[in-house]
Amino acid sequence: MKPGTMMTMLGIGAALAACDCRPQDDARALSQDKELRAVMDNFTRNEVPAATPLVEKREVELIRLVSLTTQQSGALLREEVATALAQGLEPEAILEAIYQCAPYAGFPRTADAVEIARGVFKAKNAKVDENRGTVTAQSRLEAGADAQGTLFGQTFRDMAKNGKEGMPTVNYFLASNCFGDYYTRKGLDLNTRELLTMAILVNLGTEPQLKAHIGANLKIRTAEYVEQAIYNCLPYCGYPRTLNALRLLEEAAAETKADAKGSPAAKTMPGKDWSAFPVGRPNDAYARYFTGRSYLDMISREQVGIGNVTFEPGCRNNWHVHHAKKGGGQILVATAGRGYYQEWGRPARELKPGDVVNIPAGVKHWHGAAPDSWFQHLAIEVPGEGASNEWLEPVGDEEYGRLK
Which residues make up the interface to Mn ion (CB under 5 A)?
A: 330
Residues 316, 369 contacting (CB under 8 angstroms): yes
3-class secondary structure, 185: coil
Q: Which residues contact 91 (CB under 8 A, 6 or more apart)?
A: 85, 117, 121, 126, 127, 128
Nearest CB to Mn ion, comparing residues 148 and 308? 308
Residue 184, φ and ψ in degrees, nearest 5: -90, -5
Q: Which helix (H) or strand (E) holds 385?
A: strand 384-385
- Give DSSP secondary structure letters for 122-154: HHHT-----------TTTHHHHHHHHHHHHH-T
Identify which of residues 81 and 336 has a Cβ nearer to Mn ion in the complex.
336
Q: Indicate the residue among 176 and 330 with the shorter CB distance to Mn ion.
A: 330
Smallest distance from the beta carbon of 308 to Mn ion, in angstroms?
Answer: 14
Q: Which residues of 7-37 are buried (b: 16+ CB within 10 A; e: fewer)?
A: bbbbebeeebeebeebeeeebebbeeeeeee
Burial of 126 (0-12, 13-18, 19+ CB in 10 A): middle
Whole-number Å distance between alpha carbons of 333 and 341: 11
CB of 322 to Mn ion, least distance (A): 6
User: Rounded to the nearest whole angstrom, what is the least distance from the CB of residue 282 to Mn ion in the complex?
Assistant: 19
Output the smallest distance, CB 373 to Mn ion, in A. 19
Nearest approach, Cβ of 309 to Mn ion (angstroms)?
Answer: 10
Nearer to Mn ion, 222 or 317 (CB): 317
**Least gap, CB of 267 to Mn ion (angstroms):** 23
- 110/330 with CB nearer Mn ion: 330
Which is closer to Mn ion, CB of 37 or CB of 364?
Answer: 364
> Which single residue brings its beta carbon nearest to Mn ion?
330
Q: Is the dihedral of CA 356, 265, 216, 258 positive or negative?
A: negative
Residue 239's Cβ-count burial label (10 Å; 0-12, 13-18, 19+) is exposed
Angular region, 295: left φ>0, alpha ψ -120 to 50, beta rest: beta
**69 or 330, CB closer to Mn ion?**
330
107: number of Cβ within 10 Å: 11
Residue 260 C-beta: closest distance to Mn ion, Å: 28
Distance CA 287, CA 294 (A): 7
Closest CB to Mn ion among residues 3, 383: 383
In this complex, which beta carbon is closest to Mn ion, that of residue 150 or of residue 342?
Answer: 342
The whole-angstrom separation of Cα 300 and Cα 161 is 47
CB of 382 to Mn ion, least distance (A): 11
CA-closest candidate to residue 390, choices 308, 295, 318, 287: 318
Q: Tell me, what DSSP letter sits at residue 162? A: T
Min separation Cβ 401 and Mn ion, Å: 21
Q: Which CB atom, from 78 or from 338, has the smaller least distance to Mn ion?
A: 338
- Least separation in angstroms between CB 366 and Mn ion: 7
